Structure formats: C-alpha cells, structure tokens
A and B are shown apart, each in its own frame.
Chain A
Amino acid sequence: MNRAEPLVLGIETSCDETGIGIVRGRTLLANTIASSMDEHARYGGVVPEVAARAHLEALQPAIEKAVADAGVRLVDLDAIAVTSGPGLAGALMVGVGAAKALAISLGLPLYAVNHLVGHIAADIVTPDSEPLEYPTIALLVSGGHTSLLHVRDLTTDVELLGETIDDAAGEAFDKVARILGLPYPGGPQIDRAAVGGDPAAIRFPRGLSRASDLERHRYDFSFSGLKTSVARWIEQREGAGEEIPIADVAASFREAVVDVLVTKALDACAARGVPRLLLGGGVIANRRLREVTLERAAARGVTVRIPPLSLCTDNGAMIAALAAQLIQSGREPSTLAFGADSTLPVTEIQVAEREPVAT
C-alpha cells in the first residue's frame, strides 16, 4: 500500500446522501453525491427506510461515476473507506455491506471510520487550501447532527464538547418551515422567506444559554423549545386575528439558531484557547450562519475555515480523506468484523482496527 499518497475510495451512506469520493492523499479526485432528498419532501423529513432503499439503488452507479470522474481504475486503489456511524442504522448498513464486498473483491484494506470526524477531514481535501492547523474547534451542523468538537489531532484526539440534546439545527429549520407552511427542506425556504425581514423583530429564546444552563450544558444545544416558541407566537397572532409577518418570523427564528451556534462555538474557542474554528455539515449552506460566524470570529481574532458546500454536506470524499490520513499516520486497516453503529462516539475515529501483525 502506498502510505505516502494513498488512493482511497470512500463510501458514505449515513443519512440521505449516497456519497462516493476518491482522494489521493490530500488531493480530491472525485466527489459523487446522489441524494434522495426529493423522496423525503412529502414526509417533511428524512424517512430512514426510504433513505436506505435509495442508497441501494444509487450505490453501483455512484461508484462507477466516481471512478470515471477521478480518471482512475479500481485496481489502482490503495484502500476502501466507509462510514460506520453515527447515522441511520439501516442506511449505514448498506454502505458497510457494499464496502466490505468491494474491498474483498479488489483485495484491498478497508478503513471503517467516524462520520463526524469525516466532516473535519473534508477540510483537508479542499482544493487550494493550506493544511489545517491543530488544535481547532469544529462546529458540525446538519439535519442529523449538531456537534461542537475540540480537535487536537484528526486521527488520534477528537473531543466532543457538546451536541444537541433534542433536534438537530437542520431539523429545527425543517419543522419551523412546516409551521410557516413552507416545503421541505426548510433551510433554503426559511432563507428565502427571511429576505427583507428584521432579525431583531422577535426575540425568540436561545436554547441552553441561561446562566443556570451553562454549568451542565455550556456547549450543548437545544432547538425544540425554539420551535415551540415560534409556533406559539404565530398561534397567538392568529388568535388575535393579526397578520403574520412571515419575513420577520423567519429572520428572527434563523437569528436565534445562528446566534446560539456561533456564541457557543466562539465560547469554546475562548475557553480552550483555540483561535481556529472549522465549520461543517449541510446547514453551513445557510448564508446568514456563515456571515455571522465570520463577522463575530474576526472580532475575536478567531480564524474560520469553511470547506466548499459540496464538501460540507455529507459526502464520500471526506470519508476517503479521513482514511487517507489514518493510512499516512501508519494505522492498520479495520477487520471485517464491524457493523453500523448509529451512535458511534466521536472519540472512535476508526473502528475495528486490526492488531498490528508482529514481525
């Protein structure tokens, strides 16, 4: 195996994107994503069984396309990588089953890795970027997760500072969009509705931000109360026969989400003495979140890194990139005895690493 510049194919199926990525060391060669998002629209959220069925359908064509895009041959690969968790169990299993068979068919080592740490690795294969400096704080926000991490070393030392205790931030966007009568997915819809709205019009609550919360939940998030608060505000106005200022509600809701995300992330930077913040996850597509982060981070002397959106949403390239780093740092491949772990902790960067063979 080429450990210096390994050619790795990564398979990601933890939620509703079938992602196949190919990297050579730090160089991105292909990033193929097939999304089942449209199939979930009528349900107002990701339906696990629908996602799992879509992964099975998309897998083979996605692998073929990624290989063609990268201009490589499967026999040239050095390793296969796959997301073991966290994520939707049934969806993860499709990728795990496929990755094992692909690795065996080609006689290649297999690396089973952590999805969240993969999001951090996305930065590494961002074209034309300086190498990521450690330590860094990472804020990962999507429809499936909202996590704040302290990354001292990508392959050995990632600490979970906090995560959502109820809804993920992306889910909150979906649910509030529904309350406002807007379609799924909610993020871009709320953005559109918020145009011209006043983000300070309504002071919606910032979850887990009171002094009494900070002791136990300093870096945790909660968006369920915010969603209820938006619903109640609208019901009261409707009850009084008043018109709903949609733009103001959307802008104020979004501001509450963004505020709490950025405040906690920058608080972590300050408390840990880490002047670097990395963003990841599909919700990073939200322009207001990026704006506020950059503005407030600059004021605090914190450098912000934001990979391009195609590497922020769930993708296989980040999984391949993480495996490439593991290979470069001399780690052994995983055995074949692992499964999908829907609650895999972020401290488990690689699962089922084989015992080194004594020489």
Chain B
Amino acid sequence: MILAIDSSLGSSVAVVDPATGDVLGRADSETTRGHAEIIGDLIVRALHDAGADPADITHIAAGMGPGPFTGLRIGIAAARAFAVGRGVPVIPVVSHDAAALERLEAEPERPCLIVTDARRREHAVSAYDGLDDGIPHRVAGPELLPQDADPWSILAEDLTTGRASDDSAGSVRRPATEQTLAISAGAIGRLAARQLAAGRIPDLVEPLYLRAPDAKVPGAVKRVST
C-alpha cells in the first residue's frame, strides 16, 4: 500500500492501493497553518481508516509542492521519516499534477490550469493539455504569477508560436480558471501508483518552493557614532 502525504496547502494523508488505485483510507485538514501539530494525527487516522498497519506500507508518496514553504516541508519531512522507518522508497509527486489528475479524469479532452495560493499576492500556476499514460501532461509551470495576472499567460510562449492556437488553451473560449483550495493525498497516491507503473518517477529532490529564501546579504557596517 502507498501512504501519500501532502501539506502544500492544507494537510492531507491517504492510503492507496497501488494495484487498483483505490483510496483505502484518508484524513484531511484544510487549515493552512499548524501542519506540524496535525500531521501525526492525520497519518494515524488515515492508516486506521484503511485498516492498515505501518508494516503494510510499501511506498510513500510525497507531495512536493508548489506551496508556501513552511507548511510544505512538514509533509515531506514526515514522508521521508516514515520511509526511513519502514525502509521503503519515497515517490515524489508534483502537487499540482495530482490536482490536474482529478480535473483531467473528469474532462479528459479539456486542457486545464491549476492555480493555488502562493501567499504574498502571488499564485502558483501550472498548465496541462491532457493525460499521457494516465499521467497529467504538464505543458507549463509550476511558476509564480501575480494574483491579478491572467494565469493563462504562462502559456504565452506557446500562444505566440502558434503551438496552442488550434486547441482551447489558445482560443478565446478557454475554460474558467478556478483556484484549487485543497490538494488531496488520495490523488497524490493514485498518481504515484501510475508513475510507478509507467516507470516515470520525477527526479525531484528539492521541494518546489519557487522562491528563494528571504535573506539579505548584509551591506557595509553601519556607523554608530553621531
């Protein structure tokens, strides 16, 4: 069984059967703070919900973001520590890809954008044009855009080269872009199972912070005398 953890927005934990893709157990919290407080409880509840024992876990799926960095790290830290404890591998999953999986399963023919809150008046945005091996095919992103910018602008390059001119991504009648408010660990786990089956595990070690740390190299020493 796959234990999937994502804390890129709220906190979400799920247990997924890799053979069937069934979500066997889940526990979620939508609060975007207090990830460290709640993560242990969610793991216990998701395992319990699935009737699973830690020893049943064969893989860990970790949502790698994008997401505001303080919270994002908690789920990844938990995923890696659980993996060490059981001696099982971690499968990294781009959190936006998991959200796109849910959208594209509902409407496979329709390109979609995943837009999430990145704080500081910015959105994290990714664009997808469909499923490939059942895995969302990301054509742009994830990247940060000002909240007031048109998220479709991340496809600007494709639009100008005409690549997207014949599909709805480039047309005037593009789908509405709704902000994704929660990433489901169930989708993270299902996508991890497909990545595993297709042998397409992303080479992703660093979380998708998308921002450099807030740190300033100090300038000259200031005078203290007046």
Q: Which residues on A are within 8 Å of B, measured CB to CB?
A: 42-44, 47, 49-50, 52-53, 55-57, 59-60, 63-64, 74, 89-90, 92-107, 110, 178-179, 228, 231-232, 235-236, 239, 336-340
Q: Specify which chain A residues have a CB less than 8 angstroms from the CB of B44 in the assembled complex.
A: 104, 336
Contact (Cβ within 8 A) A336 B73: no
Contact (Cβ within 8 A) A97 B36: yes
Interface of chain A: mostly helix, strand, loop or mixed: helix
Q: Specify which chain A residues have a CB less than 8 angstroms from the CB of B209 in the assembled complex.
A: 53
Contact (Cβ within 8 A) A232 B225: yes
Tell me if B196 is interfacial: C-beta within 8 Å of chain A: no
Contact (Cβ within 8 A) A235 B215: no
Within residues 155 to 198 of chain B, which ones have a CB less than 8 A from any CB in chain A? none
Q: Specify which chain A residues have a CB less than 8 angstroms from the CB of B223 in the assembled complex.
A: 231, 235
Contact (Cβ within 8 A) B78 A97: yes
Contact (Cβ within 8 A) A106 B54: yes
Q: Specify which chain A residues have a CB less than 8 angstroms from the CB of B37 in the assembled complex.
A: 337-339
Contact (Cβ within 8 A) B218 A43: yes
Q: How many angstroms between the C-alpha atoms of A337 and B29 in the bound complex?
A: 14
Q: Top 7 A-B pairs ranked by shortest CB distance? A: A105-B85, A100-B40, A336-B40, A49-B213, A101-B78, A98-B81, A339-B37
Q: Specify which chain B residues have a CB less than 8 angstroms from the CB of A228 in the assembled complex.
A: 224
User: Which of A49, A92, A98 touches B214 (beta carbons < 8 Å)?
Assistant: A49
Q: Which residue of B lies closest to A99 (CB)?
A: B81
Contact (Cβ within 8 A) A63 B84: yes
Tell me if B216 is interfacial: C-beta within 8 Å of chain A: yes
Contact A43 B225, CB 8 Å, known A56-B77, A56-B207 = no
Tell me if B75 is interfacial: C-beta within 8 Å of chain A: yes
Q: How many angstroms between the C-alpha atoms of A105 and B209 in the bound complex?
A: 27
Contact A96 B54, CB 8 Å, known A59-B77, A74-B84 = no
Q: Which residue of B lies closest to A336 (CB)?
A: B40
Within residues 50 to 75 of chain B, which ones have a CB less than 8 A from any CB in chain A? 54, 57, 69-70, 73-75
Q: How many angstroms between the C-alpha atoms of A55 and B74 in the bound complex?
A: 11
Contact (Cβ within 8 A) B85 A43: no
- A51: min CB distance to chain B, Å: 9
Highest count of chain B CB atoms <10 Å: which of A97, A105, A340: A97
Contact (Cβ within 8 A) A101 B76: no
Q: Specify which chain A residues have a CB less than 8 angstroms from the CB of B221 in the assembled complex.
A: 178-179, 231
Q: Specify which chain B residues have a CB less than 8 angstroms from the CB of A231 in the assembled complex.
A: 221, 223-225
Contact (Cβ within 8 A) A52 B73: yes
Within residues 6 to 47 of chain B, which ones have a CB less than 8 A from any CB in chain A? 34-37, 39-41, 43-44, 47
User: Which of B40, B86, B213 touches A47 (beta carbons < 8 Å)?
Assistant: B213
Q: Which residue of B lies closest to A103 (CB)?
A: B40
Contact A49 B69, CB 8 Å, known A102-B84, A232-B224 = yes
Q: Which residue of A lies closest to B57 (CB)?
A: A105
Q: Specify which chain B residues have a CB less than 8 angstroms from the CB of A104 in the assembled complex.
A: 40, 43-44, 47, 54, 82, 85
- B3: min CB distance to chain A, Å: 9
Tell me if B79 is interfacial: C-beta within 8 Å of chain A: yes
Q: How many angstroms between the C-alpha atoms of A90 and B69 in the bound complex?
A: 9
* Chain B 195-220 per-residue mask, 1 if CB under 8 angstroms from chain A, else 0: 00000000001110100011111100
Q: How many angstroms between the C-alpha atoms of A96 and B86 in the bound complex?
A: 18
Q: Which residue of A lies closest to B5 (CB)?
A: A101
